[in-house]
Amino acid sequence: MSDYLSDEEQVAVLKRWWDENGKALLLGLGLAVSAVVGWRYYQDYRQADAEAAAALYQAYQEQRAAEAPEPDELAHLAEALETDHPGSGYRIFVLFRQAADAVASEDYDTAREHLSTAVASADDARLRDVARIRLARVLQQLGQSDAAMISLGKVRGAGFFSEVAELKGDILLVQGDRDGATEAYVAARNVGGGAANPLLEMKVLDMAETPGAGAAGASVE
C-alpha cells in the first residue's frame, strides 16, 4: 500500500509506528547488547579467575617440591586459594595434599577436617565424590564405620561404583558382616568390567573360602 502513499503520508506512517514501537525496540536492543557484554565479561572473569588460581597452585606445588619448603609460605598460598578461589579445583587439590600429609603423620582428625572442607567446598561433583571416598577411609581409620558408610552413600558418580563397593566391603568386614562384605566385593568386581584388580580378586576368593560367606553371585544396590 505504501506505493500509493505520498512521501508526506509515508513519513507520517513511519512516525506513528515509531511513536508506538520505538521505545520498545530501543529497550530490546539495549537488553540484547547488555546481555552480550555481560556474558563476555563473565567469561573473561572466569578465565582470569582460573588463571589466578592455577598460578597460586603452581606456586604451592613449587614450594612443596623445594629442597627446604617454607611452612609459612605454604600456609600463605593455601590461605590465598581459600580466600580468593574457595570452590576451585586447585583449592580442593591443596586440601587433598594437606589431608594426605596428615594421614602420613597419622593425624586422622586433621585429615578428616581437610576432607570435610573439600566435600563442603568443591564446585566440581567429581572432586566432591573423590573427597567423600577419601573421607570415608579416614573415618574408618578413626573407627567411625557408620559415618564412613554415610559418606560413601552420598557418592553419586557412576564411575566410582566399584571403588565405593569395595570400600563398603572393607567396612562391613570390620563390622563382622561377612555376607555383606562378600556381596560388596563381588559387586565391585562385577561392575569393574573384568579390569584387573588383584587385591579385590584376592578379597573375593578369601571370602568364598570362608565358611558362612555369602553367595559369590550376590550384588549390592
Angstrom distance (rounded) from CA 50 to CA 37: 20
Residue 169 above 90 pLDDT? yes
Work out whether the CA dihedral 66, 78, 123, 47 comes out positive or negative.
negative
Angstrom distance (rounded) from CA 163 to CA 152: 10
Which of 89-93, 132-136, 167-171, 204-208 shows the lowest mean pLDDT across its residues? 204-208
Residue 21, Cβ density class (10 Å: 0-12 exposed, 13-18 middle, ≥19 buried)? exposed
Q: Domain with 140 in it: what CATH number? A: 1.25.40
The residue among 102 and 219 whose pLDDT is bigger is 102
φ/ψ bin of 21: left (φ > 0), alpha (ψ from -120 to 50), beta (otherwise): alpha
Mean pLDDT for the chain overall: 82
Total domain count, the chain: 2
Which of 10-19, 122-131, 182-191 shows the lowest mean pLDDT across its residues? 10-19
Which of 10-14, 121-125, 168-172 shows the lowest mean pLDDT across its residues? 10-14
Q: Which of 156, 172, 201 is the last residue of a domain?
A: 156
The residue among 133 and 25 whose pLDDT is bigger is 133
Q: Which residue segment(s) compose the domain that 178 sits in?
A: 158-221
Closest by Cα among 175, 171, 169 to 206: 169
Q: How large is the average pLDDT for residues 72-98?
A: 91
Which pTM does this prediction carry? 0.72
Same domain, 56 and 91: yes
Considering the domain boundaries, does residue 6 fall inside one? no
Same domain, 146 and 218: no
> Highest mean pLDDT: which of 11-15, 69-73, 135-139, 173-177?
135-139
Same domain, 58 and 152: yes
Residue 47, Cβ density class (10 Å: 0-12 exposed, 13-18 middle, ≥19 buried)? exposed
> Highest mean pLDDT: which of 11-25, 38-52, 71-85?
71-85
